[in-house]
Structure 1
């Protein structure tokens, strides 16, 4: 390969630009579908794979063009697409209708996205898999020449990072231009930068072009990589000194203080990641370390000795938490990461104790660990080792064995973090009759099932006082809370379900015949503000639907409350409703005065 220019020809360049254009169009259409809430965004079984494949596979294609034969590339893309489809289908099926981790607004018509963990781990695994596949293409060996793996993996990483930097620089320049034009009273560029059909394709095309441009100048990429590795390698002595000092101090102070932090596992695993990265910046392709400064060579060997100790401490901290609280999704993921860190530690310890003293055995260890990581991550995002399934089974076992009481059992973890498995477990617990305190278990399970979202930062949901039915002495129709299927269209709103069923939200209920048909309607009013509420109507056969919204115009809060409590509410004839060609036009009076009433 020429050191100044790649062998990539013009036709390959145009093919890469074409792939980037197709990706830009696909992602724009998916974005529009999500914002407009139309197909395929409303069908997660289609939206999830299209979205994840649309983000990743074109990048893999651009990276592979010019590096693989077209037939081999198509087979590789087919395999990756199949894996992504299977992962996204499992991610969709295990979900509980919640966008866990995205902090998106709640609503009956919201669009669901693949889980954040799937985004992160699939991106990391695709990078590793693509590096391994490109190296295999050159040598046709699954454990080929380590310098080739090193060169291709770091080259791809630098390309991806600098392509992202290129996008940032592109938009920074455009925003600067928009600001300059705005001083001349020209806002066309500002308008374009706020328009989705402009900024989404521009970002995607910029990324694809940057990948191609970096591939056209491999010497520049290699130079940036070498400079980055040299700078990072000189952080290795500092990291080794700090972590060695930490372990020596720990030996004298004892580990009790470490366990009391409750986040020791994550700090120790972060230290393992730092050591693995910095050791490899010094090791590089296996030949650089021989000519490095003596302090780097000794630091690398000492770091290899520290790594398994830190991994064992992380496993011990995790084991204490699991013994005390059982498995959870986060703990299982942390356990898999700790196992990977411990495997790295054993492999690097073996390399450090070798007679040659040059860590030569690290080369094979790095390649083997890459395959191990891929297998473990695939297992985690499949039914085989699904963290939600494993953790729910363990939590239920702890409840059945009496290791946790019915009062302290975390029902809300099952509802919001257990996915489909947690909801199915709650349904079983809602029918439980054999366990001690079965009545309490049924009540708590039913309460958790009725919740639609969890208050951020508040893991404990407190039960509110019972709602009041006005006028005093009134009763809800018997069929009202026996509505079949909590997800039936036009049934209880989220707030009303949390008030009437879960009793975690304050509300009051007015039973009133609103349309003079001889049957009462149910008006649920939000007690926290009295801005209004929802009106539910019996449409026949005991089926209730939400058919209206109550808008309150109030001058005196206390006077209104007293009147509702004593049954002084009456239906007042208002503006007539117009029916025009099958459509209805409703005239709503303007709000003259609106006052927030205290709870």
Structure 2
């Protein structure tokens, strides 16, 4: 009955042409906003980004939701949703100025709209604020299928256009080929072809339904495989312990959350949108139940992993976002486990309304996180600065690159304030952070400083052990390997130094030369380390025990009109 509410409407033959025109106009407007210059050389600012997002989102949402019946509802919904997307992107600022975590805020607004669209479509079909699960589920799956198929159609259109351009070029007609070199034509063609694809697919309900069933059938077959794998993983943990998860990789939380997402998708592929679509094949049913059973334990383990990282290193925007994802995963896992306990073999009866409630909750949460209400940058900045000022972490080991470049404006303001700190080490490190032009230079400088401090305590200086000038060790290419060993030929007051080192016990020797330039800065050939080729056998740690000296050596070389040519030879 629900399917008849919107599947058996009269054909709307004009829809593909309307949507193709809408897509073409949207592409042309976006071209006028962005201009004709190369995107990489002229990245759009906040206003341009927001405008492009508004126009593109408005066109796409209208294309997906427009029906002749209650078409005003679709236009109003699309306008409000596109305006929300545009405002969020404008508030985020220019994309090339985004700090850590800002991208997730954009993901949240798109996720919120993507969830709201099928909810709106179901209510529009009902003509009231009612959300039948069958309609919501069907619209959600249809939107995903049409989205993917639409972009596949765009790719085919461009390949066909390219083929025709080459074909006509054979007879000296280069119009199509010349048009493909124009940005405005590419954007218009992309918008028109994507709009036409959506219109055609929405007029071909039978094809879309067949494609849906194929996708669901393929996914449902994978449910027992993933379900058995997750249960075996959980049963193995008492024997391996949780510590094995932290030792194996730093990506424990993303891997576990990916498993939860996969479990949600495959479980719903088995239960379908109603009893008539629910698979009765025992392996598939039990596979889906295994997925529902495994989700909450996986989410809890991910929560433990995230909690340990936060306890050790404090808050960062990325860790706070990870915490949000873990909370969402736990909510889904709890809902699926409760449905399984209540319904057992009939758990889908309880799971479908739970899915609907989760969709509303996730939509509202994503919208809230996208709004400029809660600042993960500010929370992380306060936490990290408190750890620094309390002495929990030393200034030389503090992640200044993250605070300066990844925590947004609160982080930049904190570094500026710390540069005036009464603690000299903190003030010095903060001033260094402010003096750098990008995070990579700062991160490399900090990494080198940590390595240099370790090497400074163990390096052998010849012919006699003397204090080394500031910046000399930092200018050299040093390894963080604990097995590395180095010796430095340097005399007090000299303007050059030679480093002989091994980066590991079995590594070959290498030589680096550092010189003091006219500005008083030590530089070295760190990007082109001189390999030692004539030492056949070197015992581990040789630079720390062998006799080392630097000699002047005469070489022979050919000269042509007073200019050296060729390599030096004996």
Do the structures match in fold with TM over 0.5?
yes
1:445 equivalent to 2:446? Answer no
Structure 1 residues 328 and 508 mapped into 2: Cα distance closer, same or farther (>3 Å)? farther
In 2, Cα distance between equivalents of 1:82 and 1:247: 45
Q: Which residue of 2 aligns with 1:579?
A: none
Matched, 1:17 2:17: no
Aligned to 1:312: 300
- Mapped to 2, the partners of 1:508 and 1:129 lie a distance apart of 64
Q: Decide whether the 8 Å contact of 1:268 with 1:310 is kept in 2.
A: yes
Is it true that 1:402 corresponds to 2:405 in the alignment? no
Which residue of structure 1 lines up, in the alignment, with residue 93 of structure 2? 92
Structure 1 position 402, deviation (Å): 2.4
> Structure 1, residues 93-152: CA drift from partner, whole Å, max 9, x if none?
9x8x72558xxxxxxxxxxxx964345433332221111111121235656211011111
| Residue number in structure 2 paired with 1:502 | none
Other-structure match for 2:333? 345
What's 2:258 paired with?
270
After superposition, residues 27-38 of structure 1 pair within 5 angstroms as 27-32=30-35, 35=38
What TM-score do the two structures reach when normalised by structure 1? 0.69
Q: Structure 2 residue aligned with 1:377, among 339, 344, 366?
A: 366
Q: Can you list the C-alpha shifts for 1:350-376, whole angstroms capped at 9, x where unaligned?
A: 111124622211111111111222222
Using the TM superposition, name which of 158-167 and 27-36 deviates more: 27-36
- For residues 291 and 412 of structure 1, do their structure 2 counterparts lie closer, same or farther at Cα, with a shift above 3 Å needed? closer
The CA deviation at 1:210 is 0.5
How far apart, CA to CA, are the structure 1 residues paired with 2:10 and 2:412?
56
Name the residue aligned to 2:290. Answer: 302
Specify the alignment match of 1:237 in structure 2: 224
Q: Which residue does 2:536 correspond to in 1?
A: none
Q: Which of 255, 271, 282 matches 1:283? A: 271
Deviations 1:322-365 (A, max 9, x none): 11111112211111111111100111111111246222111111
Q: How does 1:145-164 map to 2 (within 5 A)?
A: 145-164=132-151
Distance 1:170 1:508 in 2: 61
Residues 4, 217 of structure 1: 8 Å contact kept: no
* Partner SS state of residue 27, structure 2: helix
How far apart, CA to CA, are the structure 2 residues paired with 1:422 and 1:406?
15
Q: RMSD across aligned C-alpha pairs, in angstroms?
A: 3.4
Q: Residue 29 of structure 2 aligns with which residue?
A: 26
1:249 counterpart residue number: 236
Matched, 1:455 2:456: no
Q: Which one is further off, 444-453 or 220-229?
A: 444-453
* Paired position in structure 2 for 1:485: none
Gapped runs of 5+ residues in structure 2? 450-469, 475-515, 527-562, 564-570
Which of 198, 205, 212 aligns to 2:199? It is 212
Q: 2:381 maps to what in 1?
A: 392
Q: Which residue of 2 aligns with 1:175?
A: 162
Aligned with 1:144: secondary structure?
A: coil
- Work out whether 1:367 is the aligned partner of 2:356: yes
Q: 1:6 to 1:214 in 2, by over 3 A?
A: farther
Matches within 5 A, 1:465-476: 465=471
Three-state SS of the structure 1 residue aligned to 2:274 is coil
Q: TM-score, normalised by structure 2?
A: 0.73
Contact 1:67–1:134 at 8 Å: present in 2 too? no
Gaps of 5+ in 1: 102-113, 468-505, 511-523, 530-592, 594-599
Could you tell me whether the CA contact under 8 Å between 2:401 and 2:443 is conserved in 1? no
| Displacement of 1:291 | 4.6
After superposition, the Cα gap between the structure-2 partners of 1:12 and 1:171, relative to the gap in structure 1 and judged at 3 Å, is closer
The equivalent of 2:116 in structure 1 is: 129
The structural deviation recorded for 1:176 is 3.1
| Contact kept? 2:119, 2:136, Cα under 8 Å | yes
Distance 1:131 1:68, change over 3 A: farther
Are the aligned partners of 1:328 and 1:391 in contact in 2 as well (CA < 8 Å)? yes
